[in-house]
Structure 1
Amino acid sequence: MLKRGFDILSAASFLIVSSPVWLVIAILIKAHDGGPVFYRQIRTGLGGRTFGILKFRSMVQNADKMGDYSTADNDSRITPIGRFIRRTSLDELPQLFNVLRGDMSVVGPRPDVPQQRSLYSAEEFDKRNRIRPGITGMAQATMRSAATPEERKRLDLEYVDQASLLLDMKILALTVRQVLTKGGN
């Protein structure tokens, strides 16, 4: 209950504070190719249920039909504005609405696409989805995008075992440091 209250308060506050940034990003995305500003992708959440995660669109239109669910830094599908919003993690801002809706938490394991279920044993998958996925998690806070799938899985499962508001605060601080010092991937 405390975590959900924190999620709602922080997501609503950050949504208000960041609204001018939203406007600028939306204009730049729309000006680039006239396509949609937002991208919605099916992800796995609490209890293994799927939901539509929101992001600012950072790739060309219909990019999901041109390759798999993962991207490399030099992926030709990423637009110029997309490179910037990915590097700064601004593409994740619309997930504040996912937090307010209850699909996500501010901190938790990043939500997987359904195809990633094959990376887990049944027990690991159930454990990972006992809590809401997050905008940021232990892997993002400590390794950003450099974590291997195995490292990410290990850190996500460790988080489920150790989850607390104090750990969430630590992860948020580490995430801010990662974004500011590493410039993202």
Structure 2
Amino acid sequence: MTRIFDLLFSTLGLILGFPILILLFILGWLDTRSPLFMQERIGRNQQSFFLVKFRTMNPGTVSVATHLVDVTSITPFGHFLRRTKLDELPQLWNVLKGEMSLVGPRPCLPTQKELIQERVKHGVFDARPGITGLAQIQNIDMSTPNKLAVTDSKMLSTLNLMGYFSYIIQTVLGKGSGDKVKQTSP
């Protein structure tokens, strides 16, 4: 049932949001000369796919989990994109393609072995990964693999249509702060 809403909302989002996407693309190009970022992620049934986002970090930043990247890697425009969650908009393309859902566990990197093991143990890979979900609105990120996998599993076992819309609305209204980044030592 949620796949129908995923298709509807991702299509509408890409069409109606096209002017915003173009504006953010241009601003991103001015910021880094490389406004889009594609990264291999692990999705449903542990199948890999390439997640598309607006770039928030300097080109050449090492491709690791966000909590392992230093905050100084984030560009000034990237801070704005992350704070407003607008960096996630291109993922509507991943949703339209069926690689992701609007709501589900955030897709992890192939190098996050501990998180992958925890997600296998808790059956998290049985579902499409999502742009947002319970962990995101509760500020649980990939730096705590077991807690994240347990939270994702809990969300998936209780997810219904009301929860689907609730997670989307809470995210749009700004609940959750996104992935943590490593702070520079003073």
Band of TM-score, shorter chain: 0.7 to 0.9
Q: 1:26, 1:37 within 8 Å by CA — same for their partners in 2?
A: yes
Distance 1:121 1:140, change over 3 A: closer
> Residue 56 of structure 2 corresponds to which residue in structure 1?
58
Question: Displacement, 1:64?
Answer: 2.2
Which ranges of 4 or more aligned residues in structure 1 deviate by more than 6 Å?
none
Question: Which blocks of at least 5 consecutive residues in structure 1 are unaligned?
Answer: none
Asked if 1 retains the 8 angstrom alpha-carbon contact of 2:65 and 2:142, the reply is: no
CA gap of 1:137–1:10, structure 2 versus 1, over 3 A, is same
Paired residues of 2:37 and 2:52 also in contact (CA < 8 A)? yes
Distance of aligned partners of 1:21 and 1:183 in 2 relative to their CA distance in 1, 3 Å threshold: farther
- In the TM superposition, residue 10 of structure 1 has moved relative to its aligned partner by 0.7
Q: 1:162 aligns to what? A: 158
User: Kindly tell me: are residues 176 and 142 of structure 1, through their superposed partners in 2, closer, same or farther at Cα, counting changes over 3 Å?
Assistant: farther
Which structure dedicates a bigger proportion of its chain to helix?
1
TM-score, normalised by the number of residues in structure 1:
0.85
**Paired residue type of 1:37:** P
Task: Tell me the CA shift for residue 122 of structure 1.
Answer: 7.2
| RMSD (Å), alpha carbons | 2.4
Q: Normalising by structure 2, report the TM-score.
A: 0.85
Number of residue pairs aligned between Structure 1 and Structure 2: 178
Amino acid at match of 1:60: N
Q: Following the alignment from structure 2 to structure 1, what is the Cα–Cα distance between the partners of residues 142 and 100? A: 23
2:42 to 12, 33, 44: 44
Q: 1:79 to 1:141 in 2, by over 3 A?
A: same
Q: Where does residue 13 of structure 1 map in the other structure? A: 12
Match of 1:124 among 96, 121, 128: 121
Structure 1 residue 148: Cα displacement:
4.0
Q: Which runs of 5+ in 2 are unaligned?
A: 180-186
- Note closer, same or farther for the CA distance 1:62–1:73 as it changes in structure 2 (3 Å cut): closer
1:95 equivalent in structure 2: 91
Higher deviation after alignment, 44-53 or 143-152: 143-152
Q: Which amino acid aligns with 1:152?
A: L
After TM superposition, give the deviation of residue 145 of structure 1 in Å: 5.3
% identity of equivalent residues: 34
Asked if structure 1 preserves the Cα contact closer than 8 Å seen for 2:119 and 2:149, the reply is no
